[in-house]
Structure 1
């Protein structure tokens, strides 16, 4: 029997949600690689791959599962996952299983495109709470996270030692971060660098005790004193000259600035490991947890989940495959192949033991939160990022007042749907 999907249901939903998902812009181009395989005996898995290592590892894993279960599985490494996934849904033929990113999840879930299979999965409690929260909508845990990344403080150990700093000076709070950044800022090197964006600066707001949403997710809380304190701390680092955004260091991102030796410390995730190994293999560095603020420790967590289309006739097979892919053994194999951190607490603990140089990224997930990503938030956050580029001369209160108004309008629209 040829697998079929609830095309009529998706078609109706997509007419209502096309603007939000940007599917109208994706309606042209593409061919057989945009959606389900049409294979009478198989599944199609669509991934957004970081490179050949990831594609090969995922293909090997799903092929092994397929051989054990008598099912052929085709892996499609999308060149543009958002576009090709959108084309699959708009054509009524989405892949049977796919990467669903944290920043797209709320949009897809709110439009009822996803099967909420994870809620009743036998391993639901094995995942980090922060990751379960990232893929929860309307109190339902929809899809199992495949791995995760958090932000840490990356330190150039050669520049650190040359400045006379020791392990005792590794920043644990804002005061010690300021002190280290000041000491390291010399001879054209910035003590600290990170992107002029919410996905980095938002950690300071959280460390001050702030957040952009109330605990129940019903109210925007962008203009609180805590969030103002977070932005004010970043502005202080900028005006002191110890923090430089990557663009001010002739760099496309802070990893490049770090690799070139233009910044002694940066705030990035574990993806920097591969970038440095490939482009700047001679740079020596260590990773520490982000310093705590007056509100305590905080970092952001980023993840993808394994999405399944709602009402899919192949859902049972896809769920079985997800169970295999999210096992500790398989996730650790993925870690070996392309560096991701397992999404289960037990798997991540084993990863931290095996890769102690990345233990700080794992520890961060104990208190990490996901960036705000409800349907419609992305446009507002883009405008917020533009304002943050001028933070050195800007007014934190005014920037957050604008964010409060615009984000609340977006939330009201999202909740009214």
Structure 2
């Protein structure tokens, strides 16, 4: 049985194959890297804005479908794992699937959307999602998925636009606190001293600070400072209404706390210790603690295998627990003629069993709650990270805010010497102007 619509010769394959490489891209596979220097993703130009089929009316059929899948691969292990999983689905369903690792997924998707011929299925970073959804690039299929409610609620929200969840979270990452074992013991600290509050975090950072080692390194930008906002009950925008809430007292207090850590010298930004990111400062032991995501495991084992450390959940703030979530979804093109097949493939790729297989293959955390117990049993050291699935905050995903967010990151890099109120007021103004356009 052939698909409802066919694309004879599939001419876009040539273009995508020319662009595809199996190298590391700026968007890491583990639910978005959370690195400060990730490029701001943009929605496709001239998206076409064509009306997508309503949920439950996916175009095409499964048997005989021909799917192209564009991924932002972290390397050969991820490319191979996704290719094998997709091929297993294709063999079972009498379909054809081609997995292409992107060199620059933002650019390649924009080109495909502009040409009206994007890949059928592709990674979508949560930060770029709002732009893609607003431009009409995405097919909203999430309601068709069996057990869609099994995805962590905060991850579903990360891919919701104007009340509609569009796509399935493929995996995610969170922030936790990493502690250098040798430095901890040298400072006379024990397990009982593991910080659970802001006050305790500052106290142990002071004890860990020496002439050669900062107590804590905090990566610059909203992807680290934002965790303190969540812990104090604040956030850049209201998650429900989308209203800009940058200047709230909760946000001011949170940034004042971070500024105090920096001013006192117990915490530093990576550049202050000749490092590109918190993981480097931690790995070279220029800092005794850092706040990074589960991607640090690979960096430590590959680049700093002799450094022993432990991972704990981030300390609670005045409002309770809080961390940041970084995630991507499986986007389906609004113009794909094989949407039914793409939905079927997504169900296969996001099953608990397949998510555990991906975790074992290339180190991602499953986005399905049903897989959490098995994941923790297999990777007990990651328990503090996956715990954040219950209380973490996803990124700002409203469309049109990337320039304002980029400016916010630049200003947060000067937090030690700039009044938090000034930084927050600037973002408030810029974000409100962008949302009114």
Same-fold status (TM-score > 0.5)? yes
TM-score w.r.t. the length of structure 2 is: 0.85
The DSSP-based 3-state class of the residue aligned with 2:123 is strand
Shift of 1:215: 4.2
**CA distance in structure 2 between the aligned counterparts of 1:319 and 1:379, rounded to whole angstroms:** 33
**CA distance in structure 2 between the aligned counterparts of 1:186 and 1:285, rounded to whole angstroms:** 18
Partner of 1:369: 393
CA contact (8 A) 1:4 1:312 kept: no
The DSSP-based 3-state class of the residue aligned with 1:303 is strand
CA contact (8 A) 2:116 2:335 kept: no
**CA distance in structure 2 between the aligned counterparts of 1:101 and 1:20, rounded to whole angstroms:** 10
- What is the aligned residue count? 385
Partner of 1:280: 304
TM-score w.r.t. the length of structure 1 is: 0.89
Shift of 1:187: 3.1
Shift of 1:42: 2.0
Relative to structure 1, the CA distance from residue 190 to residue 22 in structure 2 (aligned partners, 3 Å threshold; closer, same or farther) is farther
Relative to structure 1, the CA distance from residue 130 to residue 41 in structure 2 (aligned partners, 3 Å threshold; closer, same or farther) is closer
Residues 136-174 of structure 1, C-alpha deviations (whole Å, 9 max, x = no match): 111111100110101111111121112111111111110
CA contact (8 A) 2:42 2:128 kept: no
1:225 maps to 2:249: yes
1:383 maps to 2:407: yes
Partner of 1:336: 360
**CA distance in structure 1 between the aligned counterparts of 2:380 and 2:309, rounded to whole angstroms:** 13
Partner of 2:203: 179
**CA distance in structure 2 between the aligned counterparts of 1:59 and 1:330, rounded to whole angstroms:** 12
Aligned pairs for 1:53-92 (under 5 A) are: 53-92=77-116
**CA distance in structure 2 between the aligned counterparts of 1:23 and 1:156, rounded to whole angstroms:** 46
Shift of 1:386: 1.1
1:132 maps to 2:132: no
1:97 maps to 2:121: yes
Residues 357-387 of structure 1, C-alpha deviations (whole Å, 9 max, x = no match): 0000011111111121311211111111111
Residues 104-128 of structure 1, C-alpha deviations (whole Å, 9 max, x = no match): 1000111121111002321211100
Aligned pairs for 1:8-407 (under 5 A) are: 21=43, 23=45, 41-407=65-431
CA contact (8 A) 2:175 2:325 kept: yes
Residues 3-32 of structure 1, C-alpha deviations (whole Å, 9 max, x = no match): 359xxxxxxxxxxxxx963648xxxxxxxx
CA contact (8 A) 2:158 2:397 kept: no
Residues 333-360 of structure 1, C-alpha deviations (whole Å, 9 max, x = no match): 0000111000000112221122110000
Match of 2:6 among 3, 8, 13: 3
The DSSP-based 3-state class of the residue aligned with 1:146 is strand
Backbone CA RMSD of aligned residues = 1.6
**CA distance in structure 1 between the aligned counterparts of 2:242 and 2:98, rounded to whole angstroms:** 41
Superposed structure 1 runs of 4+ greater than 2 Å apart: 1-5, 19-24, 214-218
CA contact (8 A) 1:349 1:362 kept: no
Shift of 1:407: 1.1
Q: Extract unaligned runs of 5+ from structure 2.
A: 9-40, 47-63
Relative to structure 1, the CA distance from residue 145 to residue 20 in structure 2 (aligned partners, 3 Å threshold; closer, same or farther) is closer
Q: Extract unaligned runs of 5+ from structure 1.
A: 6-18, 25-39
The DSSP-based 3-state class of the residue aligned with 1:89 is helix
CA contact (8 A) 1:49 1:55 kept: yes
Residues 230-259 of structure 1, C-alpha deviations (whole Å, 9 max, x = no match): 000000000110111001110111111111
CA contact (8 A) 1:190 1:262 kept: yes
**CA distance in structure 2 between the aligned counterparts of 1:48 and 1:347, rounded to whole angstroms:** 23
Relative to structure 1, the CA distance from residue 340 to residue 20 in structure 2 (aligned partners, 3 Å threshold; closer, same or farther) is closer
Shift of 1:208: 1.2
CA contact (8 A) 2:45 2:114 kept: yes
The worse-fitting range, judged by mean Cα deviation, of 215-224 and 157-166 is 215-224
